[in-house]
Structure 1
Amino acid sequence: LNNSDFVSYQVEILDWKTKEQLCFLDKVNPKPSIKLDPKGNSLRDEEILQHLPVGTTATLYFKDLGPQIGWTTVFLIEYTGPLFIYFLFYFRMPFVYELDERFTSSPHPVVNLACICHSFHYIKRLIETVFVHRFSHGTMPLRNIVKNCLYYWGFAAWLAYYINHPLYTPPCNIYVFACLCYSHVNFFVFIAYGKKQINFAVIMFLVGSKTRKIPYPTKNPFTWLFFFVSCPNYTYEVGTWISFTIMTQCVPVGLFTLLCFIQMTVWAKDKHCTYLREFKDYPSLRMPIIPFLL
């Protein structure tokens, strides 16, 4: 334990207008969240006493959240790693494959296209993190960053190792496969752009308000998936990795795509259930992630 484990704070709560002291808290943990029930969810920043299920006497519980890290920082760390790790294998650094000068580049167009797609995907994610994303929770437990980085960074290294390996060859005629790759690059970019438009649509729909609302399609055709699914951003995300799997014909990429689909399906179902619980008029045609199926 370090000294910070023994630090406690004194918290003085004042009326924002008159500056009159309302109460004084002694020995407050430095990393708390506030709850109405010990086993319930933490209260959101915008919630007020009048709207909480309490009487004239309210009992609040403080929970130690432990070391935290901001979500923007989390995403920047998670997405920067795969971007640079992939380049280590793409440029075939000597300490990676230990090969001579004859193997410093790949003769196969698919390898170059794969690098372009992979880089585009994570650069887009970094830009969205800084300029687009809005987070409902400000922080995440610090310990989770290790698990998340092992997942993103580990898979990036694994799939990059095989795609950029000197012995990697496309599974069919190179010219036919190059044409196939080109079509899938276009599809990859198309659905990646669609995911970006979904994020912008949600932001514009909620701009100026912290109130949760039902997202609806706009005139932008990339948002029309909202007619059929609750989380079209996940649908587009899975689509990009399916395209990347078909383009590279690489088993590690296929496994990563499968795990992405499973995880995003879990997230989509949770969000879909939340929408159904909060909005009585929620569109009945929508499914969590796959139109008409799932």
Structure 2
Amino acid sequence: MASLKVEIVDAKTQRIVTTLENISPEDTVFNLKYAIHQQKSKLYPDRQALRLEPKGKALKEEQRVKELNLPTKGAQLYFRDLGPQIGWQTVFLIEYAGPLFIYPLFWLRPSIIYGSKASEPMAQVVNIACLAWSFHYAKRLFETVFIHRFSHGTMPQFNVVKNSSYYWGFCAFVSYFVNHPLYTPPAFGAVQVYAGLAGFILAELGNYSIHLLFRNLRPAGSKERKIPVPNGNPFTQLFNFVSCPNYTYEVAAWLSFSIMTQSLPALLFTIAGFVQMAIWAKGKHRNYKKEFSNYPKGRTAIIPFLL
């Protein structure tokens, strides 16, 4: 197959963005993106999506030109500008740093928030809740830096605002009521508090165990995908039942936190998180089944046997 001339066409306006000359069949989609970037400096590779059809699926960067079955004459690829991008790791660090620092403000300086009413001593569960909340987001920051391997390098910059508004907003909402001078401790006292705390700790350990397994599943610097299966860690046995046990454990942690604090705002946070994670889990579950013909049939997405 001889070298090609490929027109890059805007998927929305149908206007030609640029033309790439002397494209080798062995070139990858990433090579094409880099060539576009050389001609259009602001269009760095992470900002680009290339497709075979205007509304088609974005091509994978590792795909080679010879695999795209482009015509030898009049070859075209459709381009979409994804807008200014920001690294996933940076986004996560911003998202999680907010809740780690915002929540303790209500606990450490209640007089600033609540005024003179804050002079009354706090219930022990309020102190435990602050420690649990802080531990969760400190863990998330640690995982973002040292554990997670991201399959995508960047996301649109606007996602920082959207995601941070969710995390930071719910953090202030939950913290305001749990640390409020009029907060009422759980109805069943220490039994409810420590049962909820135990559930929270176990779920956090389970979530961390799944993230470690995911890390070891993908070699550093690759985008290789494998079917996740349990290892020797008992917390990973949940993979026998669901495709996304990290989400299952995450929901279990916040449900336990809600029980421990007997807080309606915490429960609303749990429900909102569950709805979003269920959507993500169902999408990942579908992708697993589509990609792997031998994917375990007994698994559901996030809740064993149900969802």
Range into which the TM-score falls when normalised by the shorter chain: 0.7 to 0.9
Is the contact between residue 11 and residue 28 of structure 1 (CA under 8 Å) also seen in structure 2? no
Give the equivalent residue in structure 2 for 1:66: 83
Gaps of 5+ in 1: 1-7, 18-22
Alignment map for 1:68-217 (pairs within 5 Å): 68-99=85-116, 102-103=119-120, 105-106=121-122, 108-172=123-187, 177-207=189-219, 209-217=222-230
- Aligned partner of 2:214: which letter? V
Instruction: Give, in angstroms, the shift of residue 206 of structure 1.
Output: 2.0
* Counterpart check, 1:49 vs 2:65: yes
Using a 3 Å threshold, how does the CA distance of structure 1 residues 101 and 143 change in structure 2: closer, same or farther? closer
The 2-side partners of 1:143 and 1:277 are apart by 30
For residue 60 of structure 1, give the secondary structure of its aligned residue in structure 2: strand
Instruction: Give, in angstroms, the shift of residue 241 of structure 1.
Output: 0.5
Gaps of 5+ in 2: 1-16, 28-34
The 2-side partners of 1:171 and 1:200 are apart by 34
Using a 3 Å threshold, how does the CA distance of structure 1 residues 130 and 68 change in structure 2: closer, same or farther? same
The 2-side partners of 1:11 and 1:111 are apart by 62
Aligned with 1:270 (options 283, 301, 307): 283
Cα distance per residue 1:189-245 (max 9 Å; x no partner): 111111111111122122254222111111111111110000000000000001001
The 2-side partners of 1:145 and 1:287 are apart by 30
The 1-side partners of 2:118 and 2:234 are apart by 48
Alignment map for 1:17-56 (pairs within 5 Å): 26-27=39-40, 30=43, 31-54=47-70, 56=72
Is the contact between residue 181 and residue 247 of structure 1 (CA under 8 Å) also seen in structure 2? yes
The 1-side partners of 2:223 and 2:191 are apart by 47
Give the equivalent residue in structure 2 for 1:228: 241
- Aligned partner of 1:194: which letter? G
- Aligned partner of 1:85: which letter? I
Using a 3 Å threshold, how does the CA distance of structure 1 residues 88 and 279 change in structure 2: closer, same or farther? same
For residue 49 of structure 2, give the secondary structure of its aligned residue in structure 1: strand
The 1-side partners of 2:288 and 2:93 are apart by 28
The 1-side partners of 2:293 and 2:252 are apart by 30
The 2-side partners of 1:245 and 1:38 are apart by 46
Using a 3 Å threshold, how does the CA distance of structure 1 residues 192 and 60 change in structure 2: closer, same or farther? same
Using a 3 Å threshold, how does the CA distance of structure 1 residues 54 and 230 change in structure 2: closer, same or farther? farther
Question: Which is further off, 245-254 or 141-150?
Answer: 141-150
For residue 201 of structure 2, give the secondary structure of its aligned residue in structure 1: helix
The 2-side partners of 1:178 and 1:53 are apart by 67
Instruction: Give, in angstroms, the shift of residue 35 of structure 1.
Output: 2.4
The 2-side partners of 1:196 and 1:169 are apart by 32
Percent of paired sites with the same residue = 52
The 2-side partners of 1:11 and 1:145 are apart by 33
**Superposition CA RMSD, Å:** 2.6
